[in-house]
Structure 1
């Protein structure tokens, strides 16, 4: 009966680590999208030598 009430694992630390990891992933994806949208357009109007 006592073993049913015994907490074998504390989930708080794992939940906090998963939340931090998800936050870091979201920030990195946001930075990547920002770089992709704000980059300079490639200018392909170079004169060709004949």
Structure 2
């Protein structure tokens, strides 16, 4: 009876660490998508290059 009540391992710490790791991964993917969406388009970069060569 005592051996059934004895916990050999506590899974709570592992579950919490996996949840934190998942949140960090989702946050990093969101930041990456944000950078990709807010980047300059090809037309904008060509206009900037044209103006610098005319100087």
Measured against the shorter chain, the TM-score band is: 0.7 to 0.9
The residue correspondences of 1:1-50 to structure 2 (distance < 5 A) are: 1-43=1-43
More helix by share: 2
1:2, distance to aligned residue in structure 2 (A): 1.2
Q: What 5-or-longer segments of structure 1 have no aligned partner?
A: none
TM-score, normalization by structure 2: 0.72
Q: Distance in 1 between matches of 2:29 and 2:37?
A: 12
Q: What 5-or-longer segments of structure 2 have no aligned partner?
A: 51-55
After TM superposition, where is structure 1 displaced by more than 2 Å over at least 4 residues in a row? 43-47
Alignment size in residue pairs: 47
TM-score, normalization by structure 1: 0.78
